[in-house]
Structures are given as C-alpha cells and as structure tokens.
Amino acid sequence: MTGNGRNGNVTAGFPRGANRTARWKASFANLSMQSKMIVIFVFLISLPILMVGYVSYRNYSHASQGLTTDYVAYIAANNLNRLDDYVTDLFNMSAMPLYMSSRQSNEDFMKYLGSPLMSVDKSYFMDRYLLYLNKIKPDTVSVYAFDNYDNVFYNVKSHSKRSDLNDMRQKWAKAAAAGDGSPRLISTQGVPVGELTAGNYAYYAFTVVRQLKDLDSRLPVGFIAFDTRLGGIERWMADMDKLTKGKTTLVDENGYIVYDSDQKLIARELGEVIDLSGARGQRGTVSINWNGVDYIVMYDTSALTGWKMYVYVPIAEITRQAAAIRNFTNASTLTIIAFALFISIVLTYALTRPLRKLRQLMREVQRGNLGVRFQVKYSDEIGSLGTHFNIMLVRIERLIEEVKWTQERKREAELQSLQHQINPHFIYNTLEMIRMTAEAKDDEEIGDMIFVLGKLLRYGIEQGNALVTIGDELGHLNRYLELQNLRFSNRFVLETDISDRLLQYRCIKLLFQPLVENAIHHAFKSKRGPGTIRISAEIAFEDLLLRVADDGSGMSPEAVKRLNVKLSGGGGEQNGSGRGIGIGNVNDRIKLHYGAAYGLSVSSAEGGGTVVLIRLPVKDEAPGIGTVEERARHAETGGDGHDAARGDR
C-alpha cells in the first residue's frame, strides 16, 4: 500500500525520514570537491576530539564524585565518632555522684539529695557541687538536680535558668525513670534556652538525664540533668561545611532535627522540611534537589545515640573542577577545529587546483575550442586523467576530420545519383514515344497501358524516400489496379473506407501497392470471377490501424502462423515466383522507419479471404489527426460518426 494525502508520515510511499536523508545526501553530493574535502577533514578531526573530551569529562566527573563521596562519608563517620565520645563523656559526668572515691563530696551530694530537710549548708554545698560539675566540660551550660521532694538545685553559666524548666522537669523525670539508672539523651528542644546578661542571646541545647539511686538501698533519690550547647557540634560541622561547600543536618532517632548548619530548622521534623525518603538504611548516598539546588547527600547513623547525620554536597561543587576541564577541552577543541579548517582549506585548494583547471579546459572544449591541452606535471590520478583528456581531444579532432571527409564523399555520391537519374528520364521519354506511336496507329489500349506504367514508374522513382500521404498512396494504388484491370479485363474492384482527415496522414511510400500485388498474385490466382480489395482505417488511441482485406482463397492456419512469426521477427517474405516486392519488404520498411513495435500482422481462413493489418504510430503534429482525447472519441465512433469496422489484429 502507498500513503495517501491524509497521512502526514508518508509521502509518495516513502517515510518522511527517508526523504530527509535523501535530501541531505543530495545536498552533500552537489557540493564542490573542495567543500566535500573540507567537510570530511573537519569531521574526521573534530569528532574524535569531541568524543575524547566528552569521555574524559564524564569519567573525571564520575571519579570526582566518587572520591568526594567517599571522603565526605569518611569525615562524617569521624564526626559521628567524636559525637559519640562527647556524649559518652556527658554520660560519665551524670554518673559522677555515684562514684565511690576519696572525694567525700560525692557521698555528701547523695545524702543531701536524699534528705527532705533544707538548710543553709545544704544549699551552699549543692551550689558548689553543681558548679564543679558544670565546669568539667566547656559546652555544658547548666546542671539541674531534682530530689523526690520537689526541690531543684541548679547551676547555669548564663546566670539564668531555663524559662521552660517546669515543663521540661516532667519530661526529664519520665526519661530518667525510664532509664532506671542508665543515662538518657534528649535531643534539642523546641524552645531556645539560656540568656546572656549583655543581651538577649538564645541558644539551643540537648540534655543528658540520669536517675540517681541510693548506693545502699538502691532506691531512687532523684535525678540529674545536664544542658549542653551545640557549640562543640557546630565547630565540627562548620569545619566539614567549609570542606564540602554544603550543609549538614543532625537528626535524632525520632526524626527531629538536632542541628543544621543554618540553625533555622533545629527542633523541626525532618519530613516537614525536605524529602529524604530515599535515604534508607544505616548509611548510604542519595541525590536530591532542595530549593532548586542539586545535592548529593551522604548519611550515616551513630551506633551510640541512634542519631543520623546528613551531609549535603552541591553537585556543582563536586563537578567544578570537571567543568573547568570541560571548558578547557571545549576551548581547545574549537581552536583545533579552527586550525584544522584553515589547514583543510589550504590543502584542498592545492589538491583540487588541477581539477579546477581541467574543468575550465572542458568548458573551453564545450565552446568548440579543441586546441586546448592539459599540462601534466605529475603521474598521480589527476595527471592520468589529464593525459586521457588530451588523448580524447586528439581522437575527437581525428573523428571530426573523418566526418568531414565522409560528408564530402556523401555529397559526391549525391551528385553521382543525380547524374544517374538520366537513365529513368530516358525510360520515361522512350515510353512516351511508344505511347504516341500507338495512338498514331489508333491503338488506344496500348497507349493507356504505357501511360499508366509511366505514372507508376515516376511515382516510385522520382520522389525517392520522401513521406507521402495516404491519399497519395491510394492514388498510386488506383493507377496500379487500372493497369491490372487493363490486363485482366476489369477483374479487380477496390473499395475504401477512410475518412477525409485520415487521408492527410503522412506515411512511407509504397505501403498498399505491394500488399495488393501480393493479393493479386496469390489470393486471386486460383479464384474465378471478380476479386474485391477493401482498405479501411481507424484510430486506436496512439495507433493508426490500416486494414487491407481481400475475398480471395485465404490461407491455412499453419501458413498464417509461419507468416506472422516471420513478420514479428522482421524477416522478409520469400516470394517464390519473384513477382512483387512482397509483404515482408513492407513490414521491414515500417519497422526500420517507425520502430519494432509497429508493422504488419495477418489473419486468414481457407476460402474466407485474408486481412493484412498495418499498425502505424499517430503523431500529434500529423495534419488532421487531432489530440489523444479526440482520437479516442474518434476510435469509438469510427471517425465519421458510425462504428468503425474492426478486423482481427
């Protein structure tokens, strides 16, 4: 199936892509040789460079990303280890009141905490002891001790206790009771704590709480809580952010943010801020887009606290050096391509210069100047082409000389042919003298026969090979039958069915007379009585069909088959009697003049007469024939408004 006009994907049965490819091929093929070589040179040079540059950039980018990821993961793991060590120290600090040592203060602290009585000595001791604990680590900002009698003792470095102490006391008490003597870590709370006297400066802190039990009875006597600023963590994270040029987020086991580099997301739930659902497992790497920036996120989990650290590294930072290499490669590629273009132009100009010279010489030859020659300097392909070009010009000059000589010989032969026409004129004059002598002796029949014979000879010889009209051919045929009827006492009758406009059709000479002569000598040879010959014509689209029919004795099927085989092969008929030009001669002349598609065919039946079909081409410039459409209508109506007689072809 072929595509129709409604299918936009198919044009003339071929895909649109195939037509586009064909147009590109044709455009390239129509370029000059110099342009083709420039395109090929630049393509062969630039393509490998571009491929090498792209592969190098891609590999370097992947390698940089892998190295950066491994290094950042290593730093994050180290920071988590430092965090675990830091939290371990806080856990140990919370257990100091339980240590049995030489320091009497630990035992006194436990006794005061378990006693319901309040005194000045107790308050002074508790303040001094908590001050001591608060000074052990610099980032510890406050220490709170709670007994079972709703008393609270504290020491804060900012000289101000937490504003939400009452709320946090309940939460801390539950966490301490749940720990049952083991330390508990509580992540950053939602309210900043602490306040400096010089100004309102709020800070975030995380808390370590532990339930304290009497060493003898193992019953709880209260709990202790350490508030620790994020300063230590912030220093570690800041160093890592300088390295990665990104951000860091620390999230507790419940999904709340303990720390972030911008300190804008602390105490918020991670899922409300950013989608890190792809970060599954204890550690790994995931790619995200956050606020329009692409990041590679490395994450790891603390074995002690269960907190997870997320390190956000911008991809642009990772590929910064790779991008610099890419830009350098692109600049180098453009420079090399420009240099290659310059060199290719110079080389192709030098290589194609002989071809341009040869093309110029060919144009001179086209204008008729055959005296030019190509100067062969080298024995390469172009030199060989120039040598053959020179040889061709020499041969053309020789052929022109031979043609001139042949034309001169032809003109000489034509002159001789004109001289030889003296003999036909001598025959015409002699026949005229005989006719006049016969009339002088009152023998009109002989005179008429000689007159008609002279007309026949003049028609056949004087007009040479010129084309004649069908009307001229019928006139010549009438004179021939007139001569035959004088001989055979008006035995033959000629009937014609040809329209007036077909009489103007021009054809080769001696078209009908040899066929009628063949019928007289063969078809009517064994028939007694008169013989009728009928000639008709019709138009069948591009062909003119002429039929020459007789009512003679006919032919056997085998004879008709043999004759048609000879006619289709162009072989002439061998006339055993030697009389007449013959049907094969007419067939040969038609094929030589009009082509192998035209000629004669015969149909006959024994005792039923013979029909010879003549097929000739119809040309639009033939007078009176009309256009193809008019000829088609003419074929349907027979030319004169009635159905044309149609014989066998």
Strand partners, 616: 544
Give the DSSP H or E segment for 340.
Answer: helix 320-366
In this structure, of 76-90, 442-456, 571-585, the range with the lowest mean pLDDT score is 571-585
pTM above 0.95, yes or no: no
The beta-strand segments (E) located in 115-165 are 140-147, 152-156
pLDDT, tens digit (0-9, with 9 covering 90-100), for 507-518: 988 889 889 988
pLDDT score for 498: 93
347: left (phi over 0), alpha (psi -120 to 50) or beta: alpha
Comparing 569 with 396, the larger pLDDT belongs to 396
Say if residue 616's pLDDT is above 80: yes
Looking at the chain, the number of H-run helices and the number of E-run strands are 17, 19
pLDDT score for 471: 92
Residues in the chain: 649
**pLDDT category, 160, cuts 50, 70, 90?**
low
- Tokens describing residue 447: 């005179």
Answer for the pair 138, 240: CB distance below 8 angstroms, yes or no.
no
Instruction: List, in order, residues 6 or more apart from 274 with CB less than 8 Å away.
Output: 288, 290
pLDDT score for 538: 93
Q: Which parts of 441-509 fold into alpha helices (H)?
A: 444-462, 470-488
Say if residue 626's pLDDT is above 60: no
**pLDDT category, 83, cuts 50, 70, 90?**
confident
Give the span between the Cα atoms of 97 and 100, in whole angstroms: 8
Q: Give the distance from CA 73 to its chain's centroid.
A: 47
The beta-strand segments (E) located in 148-290 are 152-156, 184-186, 205-213, 220-229, 247-251, 257-260, 284-290
pLDDT, tens digit (0-9, with 9 covering 90-100), for 482-514: 888 877 888 899 999 999 999 999 998 888 988
Instruction: List, in order, residues 6 or more apart from 167 with CB less than 8 Å away.
Output: none
pLDDT, tens digit (0-9, with 9 covering 90-100), for 590-600: 887 888 889 99
